[in-house]
Amino acid sequence: MPATVAILSGIVEPALVITLILAVVFCVDRGRAALKEPSRYRFALGLDSILFLVAGLLTLVVLGSLASPGDSKLFRLGLSGFSGADVVPSYLIILWCISLATLPIPRGRGKVTSAFSRLEARTAIAMGLMGAVGLALSLTVSRFEVFSNRGETTGNGLNSLLYWAAAAFVSYVITAWRRGDGKLYLFAAAAASLGLLATGNRSPLALIAIAVVVRIIADHRTKLFLVVALSVPIGLLVFAYQSAWRSRVSHGLPSGPIDVLSAISANPTQEFLRLGFDTVEGHTLVSRILEAGYDARWLDPLLAVTNFVPRALWEGKPVLLGSEIGNQYLGLSAGGIFLSGPGYFALVTGSVALGAIVFVAFILGLRWLASRPSLAPIGLVAVFYLTIRIVVAGDAFDIFLSVQIFAIFLIARGLGWLLPWSR
């Protein structure tokens, strides 16, 4: 409310600062409430805390766009007539969406133990082996080739599934490991995390961070929660480093640690705007597209499951909206620009207002699902991951990634029964 009134009155920057402060306050408040709540409802409160954190980060993005509009993605991609101030209306809509999505929901029943369940040795070993193969395949390709072709390659579904199995394995160990399960799992998870860091992909690292948060909430680890909360700036620095590293490698520039850190420190605003929070700009783009009369496609979210079908078996497989819009309006290749959850649902429904309503209902549904006592740990991590992805990015592809996490778990559980050894 303060942000809306102030911004509509033309007082933009002070309103953004006030909103940033309020977002941090609400983030801390919901985080503390999550650690004290004895029922599964604590995970809904944990999601609230993360949503308010995202609101704060989006506020920083908008401040950066106003301070340096030339560094924003839509400006760099040459969208006609775009300026940094164009994101303000979309920012207000998204801010209201996040606020309404954190309204109270029915509390789930059942208390949470210190850990959800014992780690299944067969499943963990099978998932770890899948991830090891995926990491090996990924690291055998030069980083220049990977980063230069980022968003352009298709038809690597199996490699991607195996690669993501490494992140799913680490997440599974974090959420399910208990004393007595053997420290070898922890060492393997640490090695897999370093391997994922070396690939330059931030999304698996975000999944691992989410798994840590889920475990902290489950175990009432108040002090550890404070450590993680204070580590947010470090996490943003890691993300900025990965982004700057990819950019310098793909352009053939010196890409050692000193070179990358020097590039970040030389223009921190630019690097922060490259972090991948396409929420506000994605919604701004969609608003323009809808004004031009774009034909809505209601069934696009269901296309997430088609990513499991190889294009070699289905030549006419529909292209996801993110890729279609990025190619048609911005000249991007297969990767496209991510639309943001509110923007994506606005595009799907053909209306900004209806898209906001669907987005709020979608997040409320995910929060309700997170509070169900029957949801498995890896499923809970997938729900947290989808909640964040659909806010900061948002496309059928983001839905697919979360479904893939749970699919990897089920595949590993099936393959585990073929292993000749287990604990």
* CB contact set of 48 (below 8 Å; sequence gap of 6+): 26, 30, 34, 102, 367
pLDDT, position 271: 67
Q: Decide if pLDDT at 261 tops 50.
A: yes
Report if pTM > 0.85: yes
On whether the CB atoms of residues 136 and 199 are closer than 8 A, the answer is: no
- Res. 109 pLDDT band, cuts 50 70 90: low
pLDDT, position 115: 44
pLDDT, position 128: 93
Cα dist from 264 to 56, 67, 151, 258, 268, whole Å: 21, 17, 23, 10, 5
Identify any residues that bridge with 39 across adjacent strands, giving them in sequence order.
111
- Res. 272 pLDDT band, cuts 50 70 90: low
Instruction: State pLDDT tens for residues 115-173.
Output: 455 788 889 999 999 999 999 988 887 765 666 555 555 556 778 889 999 999 999 99
Alpha carbon distance 371, 379 (integer Å): 12
Q: Decide if pLDDT at 419 tops 80.
A: no
Cα dist from 126 to 164, 351, 403, 418, whole Å: 13, 45, 19, 9
